[in-house]
């Protein structure tokens, strides 16, 4: 009886989702289209009837939720709703793509194929997730709906992540932060991007997440009162000018507040742009720009603007089509406030991202607006050589440009080029053409000479200067900020390497002919052994670069070759021993012992070598996760380490749980503390007194500097655990003149 009641309640719950979808479609679809949605729902219900999610709820709730996200947050059409309802049927049930195509047509089948995961990959070093993400990315060049549904699918999975075990939560959250949130951002889905980031942070750094969430709630009443006072004079001015507009407020996401606090090293109370005022103007779109500028003039009449914070994305929209005016003004109470001004259509684009540019018709054809078409063209360009790119390289290339802020740079003829922020002259050159980039020696920026390394800014007019004698340099890889530039530089370097190898071979052959030695396999093998070369390419490169001088070729074929070889071996060894004498210390040995003995346990991996990651240097008490970097080694990271997040996203199937052991009480960990404040006589004594007398801590090193009354110090300590370190930091903060004490994670 109880089972029947539960089943009826569940069915009622499921049907409420379905009715919400149909009600939402009622004014934007035909009867026949809604019948197709009903058929898709019936098929999904039947396919998933005996399946439940880890949370215990019927599985069908998941595709229904995804369909609602596709409808309400992305504003997509009938085809996308059908695909959302059916997106797991081929992967998780007995239905095939052929079944789907027969029932709903080739277009729906193609999109679902793009959403179906890959079970196996040929490269065992890659995460299966990377291969799946590559597959979805490749569909973007032909039909963006697959990746939009995939984003919706991931969003709902993040909303229900509580039911998953800890290691799964870490893996999925890392993938989301590394891959999906940047993609949602690049496609213009800012609300989805923010929700994904917040949910990822909730599992990666729960302490910081809940702290900021509580602070937002605590300041709610005060914030609402301030906003009401702030917008009142603006509303009055708009009314006087007969401008119809809606004024909204938007609180920054938890993750973006956390980013600001970390970047600026400020407490929550000092985040001045905690919220933004959004003014959405009504009226004909052809007059939208002028109305927005009129509203801007009204706002800046009431409040004094920060000119440096004006962002004009109306004249030059972002690549994803985003348009708005952003300005920051000083309120009458002395607080800076960000104001965003946009038209109703601009707001629709801002909220719905890429989907707002797509008009889906019954025949499946699409219309694009210029901004999105331009961005998709760049995606296609990146994907056109997909056969040559590994999955990891493809995803890394996409990732590099997904989150980057944009700048707008002009060619000598006035053509606008969109590049990621921090792009250099060399990136601009390669953006125009590989030939121009390969021979770039510099540029004229606004008629002033600049090197290839010069960082570009919005509004720069750039003319590339080339030379036929210029060669691509390896250090350019460190300069380039765009995946396109890096790809072309890498290709050019490989080509140059091949040319050097060929020239080195010819040089060696000519010299061996000169000294009457046969140029054959036996002689070459002898030369490789004599000069410690792994292969012939290394030998030829050494000859070309003169790191293997011709005298060594002569020595190799001399009757005294053994003596020459021993002499060449002893020289660097003796130099190394002399150097080692000075750098080897007990401290070095201690650190080696510590860094290779983290005292952790993972499930079924207690016999595998475990090392502490130097990128975040976790110490006992830190929340940690293990990443299998090889079959016989686990690297231990802090769970909020940016490197760990990338590793978990790229090698999600290599994650193991890790926890600190309690049976090792006398193990110390190397930890760094950075101190900043105002200098005065006796400050150093006060600091060392806390460290040595109050806490009795051993120091590896101390470094103090003072300039113009500002004191900065770095102290490396041997610490038992994170609680002990936090207590020490809090005590140091109480010293007179000290303004900031923070832990150093990378050293």
Count, residues in the chain: 747
Q: Is 617 left (phi over 0), alpha (psi -120 to 50) or beta?
A: left
Which residues belong to the active site?
Answer: 91-92
- 739 or 104, which is more confident? 104
In angstroms, the CA 174 to CA 197 distance is: 10
d(CA 36, CA 59): 21
SS3 of 149-197: the string is HHHHHHHHHHHCHHHCCHHHHHHHHHHHHHHHHHHHHHCCCHHHHHHHH
602 and 701 both lie in a single domain: no
Do 11 and 149 share a domain, yes or no? yes
Residues 33 and 131 in one domain: yes
Indicate whether 239 pLDDT > 90. Answer: yes
Q: Tell me, yes or no, whether 61 and 195 share the same domain.
A: yes
For residue 304 the two structure tokens come to: 């004094």
Find residue 742's DSSP bridge partners: 674
Element (H, E) at 279: strand 275-281
| Cα Dmax for the chain | 101
β-pair type (710-719, 633-638): unpaired
Let me know if residue 363 belongs to a domain: no
Please, what is the average pLDDT of the chain?
A: 80
Cα–Cα dist 357/373, whole Å: 9
pLDDT bracket for residue 22 (50, 70, 90): very high
The DSSP-derived string for 76-95 is: --HHHHHHHHHTTHHHHSS-
Q: What is the number of structural domains in the chain? A: 6
Contacts of residues 102-107 at CB distance under 8 Å and 24 or more positions apart, as own/partner, are 103/39, 103/43, 104/36, 104/39, 104/40, 107/79, 107/364
Q: How far apart are CA 666 and CA 302, in angstroms?
A: 64
Looking at the fold, whether 65 and 26 belong to one and the same domain comes out as yes
Tokens of 671: 């930890």
Pick 509 or 381 by higher pLDDT.
509
Mean pLDDT (whole number) for 42-61: 90
Give 124-142 as a 3 state SS string.
Answer: CCCCHHHHHHHHHHHHCCC
Classify residue 209: in a domain, yes or no: no
Residue 398: which CATH number? 3.10.20.30
Residue 482: is its pLDDT beyond 80? yes
pLDDT band at 680 (very low <50, low <70, confident <90, very high): confident
Residues 403, 547 within the same domain: no
Do residues 31 and 170 both lie within one domain?
A: yes
pLDDT grade for 325, boundaries at 50, 70 and 90: very high
Neighbours of 162 (CB within 10 A): 10
- CATH number, domain containing residue 347: 3.30.460.10
**Residue 577's pLDDT band (cuts 50, 70, 90):** low
385 DSSP 8-state letter: T
Alpha helix stretches (DSSP H) within 403-535? 425-432, 434-438, 476-479, 483-514, 521-530
For residue 579, pLDDT beyond 50: no
151: pLDDT strictly greater than 70:
yes
Name the percent of the chain lying above pLDDT 90: 27
Tell me phi and psi for residue 700, to 5 degrees: -85, -40
**361 is a domain residue:** no
pLDDT at position 595 is 41
Report d(CA 188, CA 399) in Å as an integer.
Answer: 15
What is the domain-level CATH number for residue 193?
1.10.3210.10
Smallest CA-to-CA distance from 496 within 431, 439, 423, 426 is with: 439
How buried is 215 (Cβ within 10 angstroms: 0-12 exposed, 13-18 middle, 19+ buried)? middle
**Residue 366 lies inside a defined structural domain of this protein:** no
With respect to residue 389, please indicate whether it lies within any of the assigned structural domains: yes
The single residue listed with the structure tokens 């052929």 is 98
Give the structural domain span for 404.
371-491
- Indicate the residue among 356, 380, 407 that finishes a domain: 356
Residue with token string 């004249």: 315
Is residue 314 scored above 50 in pLDDT? yes
Candidates 350, 274, 342; CA nearest to 311 is 342
Whether the pLDDT of residue 552 is over 70: the answer is: yes
Give me the pLDDT at residue 641, please. Answer: 84
State mean pLDDT over 553-581.
65
SS3 state at 106: helix
The pLDDT of residue 354? 55
Residue 595 inside a domain? The answer is: yes
Q: Are residues 242 and 349 in the same domain?
A: yes
Looking at residue 227, its pLDDT comes to 93
Question: Which of the residue ranges 99-103, 151-155, 268-272 would you say has the lowest mean pLDDT?
Answer: 268-272
- Do both 382 and 480 map to the same domain? yes
208 assigned to some structural domain: no
pLDDT band at 3 (very low <50, low <70, confident <90, very high): low
* pLDDT band at residue 355 using 50, 70 and 90 as cut-offs: low
As a whole number of angstroms, the distance between CA 620 and CA 669 comes to: 8
Domain termination site, one of 436, 463, 491: 491
Q: Are 525 and 461 in the same domain? A: no
End-to-end CA distance of the chain: 64
Residues 71/85, Cβ–Cβ less than 8 Å: no
Residue at which a domain ends, from 626, 660, 694: 660
Q: What are the pLDDT digits (tens) for 69-96? A: 998 888 888 998 999 999 999 888 888 8
In terms of domains, do 77 and 179 share one? yes
CATH number (domain holding residue 732):
3.30.70.260
Which pLDDT band holds residue 362 (cuts at 50, 70, 90)? very low
Q: Is residue 177 part of a domain?
A: yes
Q: Which of 152, 167, 160 is nearest to 58 (CA)?
A: 160
Phi, psi of 189 (to 5 degrees): -90, 75
In angstroms, the Cα distances linking 578 to 571, 572, 574, 583, 584 are 11, 10, 6, 9, 10
Contact 605/634 with Cβ under 8 angstroms? yes
Who has greater pLDDT, 592 or 113?
113
Average pLDDT (683-693) is 88
Q: Are residues 91 and 165 in the same domain?
A: yes
With CA atoms as reference, report the closest residue to 352 among 63, 26, 76, 28.
76
């Amino acid at each position: 009886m109880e089972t029947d009641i539960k089943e009826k309640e569940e069915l009622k719950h499921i049907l409420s989702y379905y009715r919400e979808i149909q009600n939402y479609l009622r004014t934007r679809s035909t009867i026949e289209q809604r019948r197709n949605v009903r058929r898709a729902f019936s098929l999904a219900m039947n396919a998933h009837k005996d399946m439940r999610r880890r949370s215990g709820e019927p599985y069908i709730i998941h595709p229904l939720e995804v369909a609602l996200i596709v409808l309400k947050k992305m504003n997509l059409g009938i085809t996308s709703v059908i695909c959302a309802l059916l997106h797991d049927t081929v992967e998780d049930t007995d239905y095939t793509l052929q079944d789907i195509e027969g029932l709903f047509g080739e277009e729906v089948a193609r999109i679902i194929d793009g959403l179906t995961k890959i079970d196996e990959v040929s490269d065992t070093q890659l995460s299966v997730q990377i291969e799946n993400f590559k597959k979805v990315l490749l569909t973007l060049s032909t039909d963006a709906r697959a990746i939009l549904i995939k984003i919706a699918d991931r969003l709902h999975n993040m909303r229900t992540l509580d039911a998953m075990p800890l290691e799964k939560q870490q893996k999925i959250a890392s993938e989301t932060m590394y891959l999906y949130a940047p993609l949602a951002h690049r496609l213009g889905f800012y609300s989805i991007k923010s929700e994904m980031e917040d949910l990822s942070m909730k599992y990666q750094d729960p302490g910081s997440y809940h702290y900021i969430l509580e602070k937002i709630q605590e300041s709610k009443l005060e914030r609402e009162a301030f906003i009401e006072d702030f917008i009142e004079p603006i509303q009055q001015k708009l009314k006087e000018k007969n401008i119809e507009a809606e004024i909204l407020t938007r609180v920054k996401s938890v993750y973006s507040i956390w980013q600001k606090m970390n970047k600026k090293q400020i407490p929550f109370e000092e985040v001045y742009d905690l919220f933004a005022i959004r003014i959405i103007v009504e009226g004909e779109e052809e007059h939208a720009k002028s109305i927005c500028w009129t509203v801007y003039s009204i706002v800046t009449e009431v409040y004094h603007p920060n000119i440096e914070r004006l962002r004009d994305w109306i004249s030059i929209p972002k690549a994803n089509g985003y348009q708005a005016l952003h300005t920051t003004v000083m309120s009458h109470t002395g607080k800076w406030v960000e104001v965003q001004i946009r038209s109703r259509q601009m707001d629709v684009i801002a909220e719905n991202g890429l989907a707002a540019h797509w008009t889906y018709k019954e025949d499946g054809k699409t219309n694009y607006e210029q901004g999105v078409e331009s961005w998709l063209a760049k995606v296609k360009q990146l994907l056109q050589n997909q056969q040559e790119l590994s999955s990891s390289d493809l995803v890394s290339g996409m990732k590099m440009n997904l989150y980057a802020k944009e700048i707008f740079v002009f060619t000598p003829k006035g053509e606008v080029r969109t590049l990621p922020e921090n792009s250099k002259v060399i990136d601009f050159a390669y953006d125009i053409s590989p030939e121009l980039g390969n021979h770039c020696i510099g540029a004229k920026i606004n008629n002033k000479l600049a090197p290839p390394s010069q960082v570009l800014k919005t509004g720069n007019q750039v003319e590339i200067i080339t030379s036929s004698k210029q060669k691509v340099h390896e250090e350019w890889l460190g300069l380039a900020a765009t995946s396109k530039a890096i790809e072309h530089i890498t290709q050019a370097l490989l080509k140059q390497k091949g040319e050097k190898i060929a020239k080195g071979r010819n040089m060696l052959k000519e010299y061996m002919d000169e000294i009457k030695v046969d140029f054959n396999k036996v002689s070459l093998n002898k030369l490789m052994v004599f000069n410690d070369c792994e292969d012939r390419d290394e030998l030829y490169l050494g000859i070309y670069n003169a790191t293997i001088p011709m005298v060594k070729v002569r020595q190799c074929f001399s009757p005294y070759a053994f003596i020459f070889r021993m002499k060449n071996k002893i020289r660097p060894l003796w130099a190394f021993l002399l150097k080692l004498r000075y750098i080897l210390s007990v401290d070095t040995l201690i650190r080696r012992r510590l860094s290779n003995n983290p005292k952790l346990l993972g499930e079924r991996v207690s016999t595998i070598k475990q090392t502490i990651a130097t990128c975040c240097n976790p110490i006992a008490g830190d929340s940690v996760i293990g990443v299998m970097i090889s079959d016989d080694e686990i690297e231990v990271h802090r769970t909020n380490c940016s490197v760990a997040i990338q590793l978990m996203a790229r090698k999600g199937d290599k994650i193991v749980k890790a926890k600190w052991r309690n049976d090792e009480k006398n193990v110390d960990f190397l930890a760094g503390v950075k101190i900043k404040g105002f200098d005065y006589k006796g400050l150093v004594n006060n600091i060392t007194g806390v460290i040595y007398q109050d806490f009795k801590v051993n120091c590896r090193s101390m470094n103090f500097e003072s300039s113009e009354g500002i004191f900065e110090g770095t102290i490396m300590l041997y610490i038992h655990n994170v609680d002990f370190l936090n207590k020490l930091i809090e005590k140091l903060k109480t010293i007179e003149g000290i303004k900031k004490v923070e832990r150093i994670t990378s050293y």
